[in-house]
A and B are shown apart, each in its own frame.
Chain A
Amino acid sequence: MIRYLGKRIIFMLISLFLIVTATFFIMKAVPGGPFTSEKQVPPEIKAALEAKYKLNLPLHEQYFEYLKGVVTWELGPSFTEKSSTVNDMINRGFPVSAHLGAQALLLAIFGGITLGVIAALNHNKWQDYSAMVIAVLGLSVPSFILASFYQYIFAINLGWFPIAKWEGFEYTILPSLALAASPMAFIARLTRSNMIEVMGQDYIKTAKAKGLHTFTITVKHAIRNALLPVVTYLGPLIAGILTGAFVIERIFGVPGLGREFVLSITNRDYTVIMGTTVFYSMILVVMILIVDIAYTLVDPRIKLSDAGKE
């Protein structure tokens, strides 16, 4: 277990290193410097600016400086917001994004599993059909359209919720719902089809032959086996929620890291793009590791050691 974890963490660090490197060189390959919009800048000021952002150094030195910055978690100053550093932006934006993301994720997981289980247990009945209609709509209507319509109907027309900003619980509801819709639909469908498959397995028959109550069979025997594949989807799902937040935060004016990131792209704020990319990648790599570990914990057939392989 510890050996396995150590190995995974080493691989994680290698992935992160490659991501940082790739991001750095792709950003440096961009035609035109960061100050192309400010062409009138006198040469001495330009030189001072370049020194501040270390653009005067040779490329490999810039790269090592950047690596050093990542390791010490000093992601450098922002190009456009002169007074803040990338660290400031992450510290400012991430808690908000994490709050929104966690709320959406919980909603998606619990809502999706509930919907999927209800549908599977009432296979081919109206509950199944309505749950699947909801799910297929959730998957088909893009989050930004859903968000726009939520905002139009529930905030602008009905006035039940605030239109935008992030100042209390009621502000979080519409963005969370919009962000959770498609992952929830996805989990619901996956849970349903797995449940239906598991319910047809021989061991469910064994459980029935023991005289267990339908509820016990569903909870103890079916759901656990049906949810195993769902766990593997959590990694991509978290990624989906992180990126989904880019537009949702923009539509609802949520001051999160996602909106910050989209802004930095529009402004070509290289240090912020690089810093947030690295940060997002880090979160995802860690999340994938956690998901993998979680999977081995819930499925006894898979062992955490390499020795278990045939």
Chain B
Amino acid sequence: MERILDVKDLHVSFHTYAGEVKAVRGVNFHVNRGEAVAIVGESGCGKSVTAQTLMKLIPMPPGEIKKGQILFNGEDIVKKSKKEMESIRGKDIGMIFQDPMTSLNPTMTIGSQITEGLIKHQNMSKAAARDRAIELLTMVGIPQPEKRVEQYPHEFSGGMRQRAMIAIALACSPKLLIADEPTTALDVTIQAQILDLMKELQKKTGTSIILITHDLGVVAEMCERVIVMYAGKVIETGTVDDIFYNPQHPYTKGLLRSVPRLDLNRDEPLTPIFGTPPDLLRPPVGCGFTARCESAMRVCQEIDPELNDVSTTQRAACWLQHPLAQNRA
């Protein structure tokens, strides 16, 4: 399968008054053409930073890409100049943000916020861009698009705004759509609508999607593959079935135990993962999950495990995969 995006050994740090926060510490993953991939993890695990780094949207400074490659269509985004980035953003990669209430400019009409990108990337005339904006609004399911196009964000509800955001992100038919917690700020009923819309649009346009979320329910509904991040690293990847039915990493297992499942034993109580992720200002030497892991071993404190193949589709970074630990798992 053709890889549209290949991230290799990505390191991202933020320089703060307290010191260097190593938010992303050597992340590897890829996205195939037309595929929907989820990146899941708790708040602060580096998933949003990773997503924003893909478009170089992190503020630099204080942010810095310390190391690694982001190959998009075979070209390294890390090496791209500001100008080259401008022609990739919006055109080849679109992005949807978490909070539709603050992600739209309050003093511009929805229409002009959609047409901006079209005029820039596709050299459309204002009138043509406006027609396209109406078309896009229809596509994302906004009624009366001719009227809505002239309205301001405050005249839209939260769900409507997120639909408008999707219209903006998809305006130039990007090859990759990054959705950073697109449903977190929305009502549950609206969440489902937005997810359905994204699925439908993906089918229609064939775009690849990276869905950043902490909601495993959303993942199961939308995606083919899952990347689990913890403390700035990828700790497990696999297909949705791999992750849901055969999780390897104790953290992944913990995540699954903390959400209700209808397909497994319903009598099993939900258990939270105790503790908080490590402070990335002083990342631990060994595995970041050691302090919270029930199966922690001495090696976990000393050496950080690498991602190893579990099957052809699944990989995990955990010492429990090691032959010497097999009897323990």
What residues of chain A have their CB less than 8 Å away from a CB belonging to chain B?
Answer: 201-203, 205-214, 216, 220-221, 224-225, 228, 298-301
Contacts and interface: CB of A to CB of B under 8 A. Distances in A.
A203 B104 contact: yes
B171 to A, nearest CB: 8
B91 interface: yes
Contacts of A205: 52, 57, 97, 103
18 contacts: A201-B102, A205-B103, A206-B95, A206-B103, A207-B116, A208-B55, A208-B89, A211-B86, A211-B89, A211-B117, A211-B121, A212-B117, A212-B120, A213-B86, A224-B107, A300-B109, A300-B152, A301-B107
A73 to B, nearest CB: 40
A202 B106 contact: no
Interface of B: 52, 55, 57, 82, 85-91, 94-95, 97, 99, 102-109, 113, 116-117, 120-121, 152, 154, 165, 168-169, 171
Contact of B107 (A202, A206, A225): A225
Contacts of B154: 300-301
A203 B57 CA distance: 12
Nearest to A201: B102
Contacts, number: 82
B103 A202 contact: yes
Contacts of B107: 224-225, 228, 298-301
Given A202-B97, A300-B154, A301-B154, A209 B106 contact: no
Contacts of A209: 55, 57, 89-90, 94-95, 97, 169
B105 A212 contact: no
Nearest to B59: A200
B93 to A, nearest CB: 8
A214 B109 CA distance: 20
A305 to B, nearest CB: 14
Nearest to A228: B107
Nearest to A203: B105
Contacts of B104: 203, 206
A304 to B, nearest CB: 15
A308 B99 CA distance: 25
A78 to B, nearest CB: 49
Contacts of B52: 205
Contact of B87 (A208, A211, A225): A211
A300 B91 CA distance: 29
A272 B126 CA distance: 57
A221 B105 contact: yes
Contacts of A213: 86, 120
Given A206-B168, A207-B105, 18 more contacts: A202-B97, A203-B103, A203-B105, A205-B57, A206-B95, A206-B113, A207-B116, A210-B90, A210-B120, A210-B168, A211-B88, A211-B90, A211-B121, A214-B82, A299-B107, A300-B107, A300-B152, A300-B154
Contacts of A211: 85-91, 117, 120-121
A203 B152 CA distance: 13
